[in-house]
Structure 1
Amino acid sequence: MKKALLVGANGLVGSNCLMELLDDPFYEKVEIWVRNSMKLSHPKLIEKIVDFDNLESIQSEEINHVYCCLGTTIKKAGSQEAFIKVDYTYVVELAKFCEKISVEKLLVVSSIGAKEKSSNFYLKTKGRMEEAIKLYNIPGIYIFQPSFLLGKRNETRIGESIGKVLINASGVFMFGKLAKYKGIEAKTVAKSMIHFAKSSSNGIQIIESDQIKNSLK
């Protein structure tokens, strides 16, 4: 039986991932790291209140698979510096932790279009994060690059609500190379992450949005 660690359980993908992990008999225990208690009760769940600015001090028993669903927006974070801390620094520190305790697989949610040399600040930060975590000695590193995430969020984002309508309407015209730009349900991303975690493959893998969907067919 395996033990999973989920970081970012409060977010759109993370909350879906948590429910899927708790329901999956493949995992005996599911540990989550949070700033504040989620006040959830489940026989498989282990909740740890952690200081994300001091991850190196965390002590954990053997963990097989680590799911990283950390992510924010510049608006929510308050500044570009605060955004970098969540979407880059914390993720890289988590990869360092994974190497230290010999985790088998690290699965990370990034973004479609992530590139280290992108002129877009958001995509550049995601791209820098991807390149950084690849340097750690972890047998399996899976980087998921979903398109616009669909699903019910805890907070309302007006711009994203409008974007969701436009993406759903335009999705019917996206075929071939454009298929990966279709909006994707957060639950689909969560299920795909678990699918790849349970697979026998290792190495560094980049899974784009259309591949995420196809992995569940």
Structure 2
Amino acid sequence: MKTIAIVSGASGLIGVQLLHQLFKENTYDHVITVSRRPLAFKQQKLIQVEVDFDHLEQVSLLDKLRQNDIGGENHDLVQAFEKEKVKIHAFCALGTTIKKAKSKENFYKIDHDYVISFAKWVHQWGASKFLYVSSLGADQRSSVFYSKVKGEVEEDLKLIPFSYLGIFRPSVLLGDRKETRIGESLGKVAAKAITSVGLFKKYKPIYDHQVAKAMVHQALNDELEVVKIIESKQMQIFE
């Protein structure tokens, strides 16, 4: 039996940290990334699968693994999939901003449709656990578009029969981004000021690696609840 991690959104702030944590964790024999383009990573455990998220349901993971097994390095993994002797944990840090998406429609497609499509796809391939990066304040009834979309994703994920669904709601994220987000930078300053005097600790900014560590910890240790929401303050314990 092989234990596999499948990751979407691996090129993002949390996704990169998630890969680092998964590479270090001996429990996982392989880490499979699912993305639109190749990632600038090379690691013994890593297998990269390139997909079109608009047609993900048509992609055969097994065929992709066979294609990547040119040198026979992953022959044991292919055999394990063929014999259904794999334990799969799926991690989703997929998301964008309205600025990058350029419209609410495109934002919804990426942050909602692609996430749900990925979840259904990995469930089809045998994933027992799904761990998703949502956001503090996620609520499908919210008047804030971003929070509303995140809330809808959470509710739709609950309809997919995973053995375990972990929903992570980080506050403002700290870490080294490739691009600068002015609004988020101002949010960090405000959040730090508020939490420095002990007010509203749930809004305390959190580092990307703390979220990633919390996700891996929950994947490996939490077996009791079918659906669990992990709030930002609960992730602050991971350093």
- TM-score interval, normalised by the smaller of the two chains: over 0.9
What is aligned with 1:59? 60
Pick from 187, 212, 215 the counterpart of residue 235 of structure 2. 212
TM-score (norm 2): 0.85
Instruction: Kindly provide the amino acid, as one letter, of the partner of residue 187 in structure 1.
Output: H
What is aligned with 1:135? 159
Q: 2:210 matched to 1:188?
A: yes
Q: Distance in 2 between matches of 1:156 and 1:212?
A: 24
What is aligned with 1:22? 23
Q: Distance in 2 between matches of 1:58 and 1:30?
A: 18
The secondary structure found in structure 1 opposite 2:47 is strand
Conserved 8 A contact 1:143-1:205: yes
Query: Could you say which structure has the larger radius of gyration?
Result: 2
Q: 2:94 matched to 1:84?
A: no
What is aligned with 1:33? 34
Conserved 8 A contact 1:5-1:63: no
Q: Distance in 1 between matches of 2:104 and 2:31?
A: 32
Conserved 8 A contact 1:102-1:138: no
Pick from 173, 184, 196 the counterpart of residue 172 of structure 1. 196
The secondary structure found in structure 1 opposite 2:221 is coil
Pick from 124, 129, 142 the counterpart of residue 105 of structure 1. 129
Q: Distance in 2 between matches of 1:112 and 1:140?
A: 20
Instruction: Kindly provide the amino acid, as one letter, of the partner of residue 29 in structure 1.
Output: H
What is aligned with 2:65? none
Gaps of 5+ in 1: none
The secondary structure found in structure 1 opposite 2:127 is coil
Q: Distance in 2 between matches of 1:150 and 1:40?
A: 22
Instruction: Kindly provide the amino acid, as one letter, of the partner of residue 227 in structure 2.
Output: I
* CA deviation profile, 1:125-149 (whole Å, cap 9, x unmatched): 0001100010011100000011111
TM-score (norm 1): 0.93
What is aligned with 1:73? 97
Compute the RMSD of aligned alpha carbons.
Answer: 1.5
Gaps of 5+ in 2: 62-80
Q: 2:166 matched to 1:153?
A: no
Q: Distance in 2 between matches of 1:103 and 1:33?
A: 14
Q: Distance in 2 between matches of 1:191 and 1:39?
A: 21
Q: Distance in 2 between matches of 1:119 and 1:159?
A: 19
Cα shift at 1:158: 2.0
* Aligned sequence identity (%): 43
Q: Distance in 2 between matches of 1:34 and 1:173?
A: 41
Conserved 8 A contact 1:174-1:181: no
Moved over 3 A (4+): none
Q: Which stretch shifts more, 123-132 or 53-62?
A: 53-62
Q: Distance in 2 between matches of 1:131 and 1:49?
A: 27
The size of the alignment, in residue pairs, is 214
* CA deviation profile, 1:151-201 (whole Å, cap 9, x unmatched): 1101111222222222222221235xx221111111100000000000142
Cα shift at 1:63: 5.4
Conserved 8 A contact 1:37-1:47: yes
Instruction: Kindly provide the amino acid, as one letter, of the partner of residue 42 in structure 2.
Output: S
